[in-house]
Structure 1
Amino acid sequence: MGVVDSIADLVLQTYQSFLTLTLGQQISIIVLAPFVYNLVYQFYYSLRKDRAPLVFHWIPWFGSAVTFGMKPYDFFEECRLKYGDVFAFVLLGKTMTVYLGPKGHEFVFNSKLADVSAAEAYTHLTTPVFGKGVIYDCPNARLMEQKKFAKFALTKESFKTYVPKIREEILKYFVDSDQFELKTRTSGIADVMKTQPEITIFTASRSLLGEEMRKRFDSTFAQLYGDLDRGFTPINFVFPNLPLPHYWKRDAAQQKISSAYMGLINKRRETGDVDPKRDLIDSLMTHSTYKDGVKMTDQEIANLLIGILMGGQHTSASTSAWFLLHLGEKPELQEELYQEITGVLNQKGGDINDLTYEDLQELPLVNKVIKETLRLHMPLHSIFRKVKRDILIPNTNYVVPTGHYVLVSPGYTHTSERFFPNAEEFDPHRWTSAESSVSEDAGTVDYGFGAISKGVSSPYLPFGGGRHRCIGEQFAYVQLGTILTTFVYNLKWTLTTEKVPNIDFASMITLPEEPAKIKWTKRSTASI
């Protein structure tokens, strides 16, 4: 007890001495103390050989949040040049250990469940948006089975039926939207940050959720998804719930969309009108019993539907916006696409309305444009996992302690000259020769939702990897391919600015900075 008494006496004496100071002196100490502690902590940290080098920062708690948040790829490259591929930085009170490049992909994506957790990293961010009991608000085994349930609607046979439905929605949008109005106008200006989120949500709802649910999706409903989307921001990552307007809108949107899904589910339950081949809603109502015999509740099905649509919304809305902007800068590439599309259609003796799922597979340049867009603009610039127990970084002495985070950035690798020559150049033709150098046949593994590639050491991973790899990759190509071919066949366009907009990293999605507009003219072959 002697040591404890001595410490208590020292604390008491320090406090009494503090009280004798003037108010100005007390305030100075209170303000300066965190800065002093921050510097002492960083000095102590730098002496440890079992920790990744820590990026120096002056401001306590905030750490490197500003530089990381504004230009993450530039931040990563500056740190790599100074520290190497492995380093750590403080982000709003959290210590993030970064491992750049393909070896980092392997380390994070193939880490064991016992070592790292995506759920603990993201659940406070995703649960208010998707709802309870799904995605990261459930055990990992449940999530893997939920992915398997959803894959019933992501088959080749389903994709064949989706293509004409997606195209029909785009053509209808060309007529109805004030950005186009193709029945009465032959030219105009379209804001891709308005058109692409709407086109994405309309086409996804029509193809995945069916015509009955699509009829409920108007611009107001699309706005609700926009309110949900704004729930994925850095401030939400740190503070899941604050008394601020965008939090209130997020919660209201979640309740309204969930209620709309529940209304249709209840109607079909009551009437017995359930056909598992009709749409994803009926498929989940039929195929949603876990291996242990527990069934998903209808509310959980509604919540999962939100999660599935939101996942595709991010990828397809941002990717289609970006390829419209890049093609607006390259009219010669538009013409090359047009010739490829019409070449296939001429062989069939038809127009764009005759383009099928099988035809999309025979359009190499269309698919290369999508692939190149995903390389240059991976929707999520950083992917986190929370460390559950101390883990050693392979081939180093660095240990990432429990409670810290590991971070990987395929988007950084995609845009690095080390892996892609002329990385900043939008060049779909690079994939003609580069395809073999970035693919890796490492066999497959099944985490519970179907076989996927084990290989995550590739420098190109636009849909992530491992057990949390996006299951919507093939659907994304179908949706994006149909959007791209329909635009190219009906319109020509250029940018309204001198160059493609810069990336806005303010949210967690890599979107173009405003203004992001195209000047379009109607083609003579337009089907409207």
Structure 2
Amino acid sequence: MDLYENNKFVNVGLVFLATIVFTKLVSSFLASRSDKQRRPPVVKALPFIGGLIRFLKGPIIMIREEYSKLGSVFTLNLLNRRITFLIGPEVCAHFFKAQETELSQQEVYRFNVPTFGPGVVFDVDYSVRQEQFRFFTEALRVSKLKSYVNQMVVEAEDYFSAWGETGEVDLKYELEHLIILTASRCLLGREVRDKLFDDVSALFHDLDNGMMPISVVFPYLPIPAHRRRDQARKKLAQIFSNIISSRKNESRSEDDMLQCFIDSKYKDGRGTTEGEITGLLIAALFAGQHTSSITSTWTGAYLLKNNKYLLEAVEEQKNIIKLHGDRIDHDILSDMNVLYRCIKEALRLHPPLIMLLRHSHNEFSVKTKEGKEYSIPKGNVVATSPAFANRLPHIFKNPDMYDPDRFAPGREEDKATGAFSYISFGGGRHGCLGEPFAYLQIKAIWSHLLRNFEFELISPFPETDWNAMVVGVKGEVMVRYKRRKLSC
């Protein structure tokens, strides 16, 4: 009897244990299945290489095709990486607002280190990078911007004074050249602008050409372009070392970003090193030069194609001249709302950075406007695309049409669906620090051109150069000009 009872209890125990194990297995299976159901849909692609070929042929084309099939959240397998795309403001809040411990820039942007140099931006941990971003913020505060505007205006006046009464020019080339001159004066300093511009400009050209698509994957590959990049950076470091030493030895201070970086101090009281100053200046010029020259060119091309907005922009200049005469300063530029909307619309249609990237350190969830919820795994690269998101038809009416009035009071399409509908300058924690500088620079140039010249676009309307690392204007933008003096 005792043996029977013991066996009975053993059997009951085994059944109970088996029930628990079975329940856990079923729960695990269902949870796994549920988890898989919550994962974003995956783009169909070839084994191993994934969507590499389609991606290299044109990421925007790929995004457009998959968005129409898979919706606003989808994953692309790319070699040994998974890139999850979040398209539209409904799913992008976490992308822009997450802390660095959750979604970080450093892992995906380390290919910039050979160009910017060691010890700055993406070669340092987040706490140091935040302090370096504070240096940028202080160099771009309103009081500094006001002094930069004066330099921008002088550069524009000097540059266009060399034009004749009439002529034909490549607007793209002219604006690129003027903006590097202006950036040299405001950012790199008087010494570079007045004495070393040609040398420094050539070195930056080698740095720029050393940033190619292959550089993103293999930044240290021993190819000629990378060797020229590395040599150019060494020479730039020596040039800035000499300028910094000269200023310190002569106790001389200038009104430029270089001086701001020389005077900057970390929270522990440590000053910036010459290597850090050089790296920060290179990063600043890279961030600003392309955006300003590309957007200035698109702004002009669209104004000359759309007479309605050209006339409105000219009329605005007449009204400002009536109030302030020929004077232009920071506050006057800030009042140019028509020109601002024209620039903003050109940036909406042609943001220089077509993709923004982060690395996910934690799993997180997003919900689409249709109510679907997806779980984004830890370890994925997370991406969004200003070039595509800025043309979503449920946010912007007739999204492929140039219509600056969409930003006018009463419409403000970029605000109708909340934050992150317009992301030409990014947003959230990593919004572009140079946005105010860029707008002031482009306004300073185009206010001068609208006041002093009549233009006619004589080449076909330009196409987008999708092959460039920073997406710009393809080919020449030829215009015929005639000098005039705008009056009220």
TM-score range, shorter chain: 0.7 to 0.9
Q: Is the 8 A contact 2:169 2:478 kept in 1?
A: yes
Aligned residue for 2:197? 218
Aligned residue for 1:450? none
Aligned residue for 2:462? 501
1:420 paired with 2:381, answer no
1:517 paired with 2:477, answer yes
SS state of the match for residue 408, structure 2? helix
Bigger mean CA deviation after superposition, 473-482 or 210-219 = 210-219
Aligned residue for 1:304? 280
Residues 311-369 of structure 1, C-alpha deviations (whole Å, 9 max, x = no match): 11121111112112222322443233222112211333x33xx2222111222111111
1:186 paired with 2:166, answer yes
Aligned residue for 2:428? 466
Aligned residue for 1:283? 260
Q: Distance in 2 between matches of 1:426 and 1:436?
A: 14
Alignment match of 2:68 (pick from 63, 81, 94): 81
Aligned residue for 2:159? 173
TM-score, normalised to structure 2's length? 0.85
Residues 318/199 of structure 1: CA separation in 2 closer, same or farther (3 Å cut): same
The aligned amino acid for 2:483 is R
Matches within 5 A, 1:320-469: 320-348=296-324, 350-351=325-326, 354-393=327-366, 398-433=374-409, 436-439=412-415, 457-469=419-431
Residues 484/313 of structure 1: CA separation in 2 closer, same or farther (3 Å cut): same
Residues 239-295 of structure 1, C-alpha deviations (whole Å, 9 max, x = no match): 1122222212222222222222221111112222246xx2222222222x2223443
- C-alpha displacement at 1:217, in angstroms? 4.8
Q: Distance in 2 between matches of 1:130 and 1:236?
A: 13
Q: Is the 8 A contact 2:296 2:442 kept in 1?
A: yes
Q: Is the 8 A contact 2:81 2:380 kept in 1?
A: yes
Residues 488/92 of structure 1: CA separation in 2 closer, same or farther (3 Å cut): farther
Residues 70/492 of structure 1: CA separation in 2 closer, same or farther (3 Å cut): farther
Q: Distance in 1 between matches of 2:299 and 2:375?
A: 41
- C-alpha displacement at 1:433, in angstroms? 4.4
1:103 paired with 2:76, answer no
Q: Is the 8 A contact 1:198 1:222 kept in 2?
A: no
Q: Distance in 2 between matches of 1:215 and 1:99?
A: 46
Aligned residue for 1:143? 129
The aligned amino acid for 2:464 is I
Residues 242/159 of structure 1: CA separation in 2 closer, same or farther (3 Å cut): same
Q: Distance in 1 between matches of 2:209 and 2:39?
A: 35
1:55 paired with 2:43, answer yes
- C-alpha displacement at 1:59, in angstroms? 6.1
Q: Which runs of 5+ in 1 are unaligned?
A: 1-44, 176-180, 441-454
Q: Distance in 2 between matches of 1:358 and 1:433?
A: 20
- C-alpha displacement at 1:488, in angstroms? 1.7
Q: Distance in 2 between matches of 1:512 and 1:93?
A: 33
TM-score, normalised to structure 1's length? 0.79
Q: Which has the larger radius of gyration?
A: 2
Q: Is the 8 A contact 1:258 1:306 kept in 2?
A: no
Bigger mean CA deviation after superposition, 314-323 or 398-407 = 398-407
Q: Which runs of 5+ in 2 are unaligned?
A: 1-32
Aligned residue for 2:245? 266
Aligned residue for 2:174? 195
Q: Distance in 1 between matches of 2:486 and 2:319?
A: 16
Q: Distance in 1 between matches of 2:277 and 2:44?
A: 46
Q: Distance in 2 between matches of 1:308 and 1:417?
A: 34
Q: Is the 8 A contact 2:304 2:455 kept in 1?
A: yes
Q: Distance in 2 between matches of 1:168 and 1:250?
A: 32
SS state of the match for residue 277, structure 2? helix
Q: Distance in 2 between matches of 1:257 and 1:250?
A: 11
Q: Is the 8 A contact 1:393 1:399 kept in 2?
A: yes
The aligned amino acid for 2:105 is A
- C-alpha displacement at 1:469, in angstroms? 1.4
SS state of the match for residue 37, structure 2? coil
- C-alpha displacement at 1:238, in angstroms? 0.9
- C-alpha displacement at 1:526, in angstroms? 7.9
- C-alpha displacement at 1:168, in angstroms? 1.7
Q: Is the 8 A contact 2:156 2:448 kept in 1?
A: yes
Residues 463-506 of structure 1, C-alpha deviations (whole Å, 9 max, x = no match): 112222111111111111101112222222233333x2221221
Q: Is the 8 A contact 1:190 1:518 kept in 2?
A: yes
Q: Distance in 1 between matches of 2:196 and 2:91?
A: 41
Alignment match of 2:140 (pick from 154, 161, 167): 154
Q: Distance in 2 between matches of 1:254 and 1:226?
A: 11
Bigger mean CA deviation after superposition, 324-333 or 113-122 = 324-333
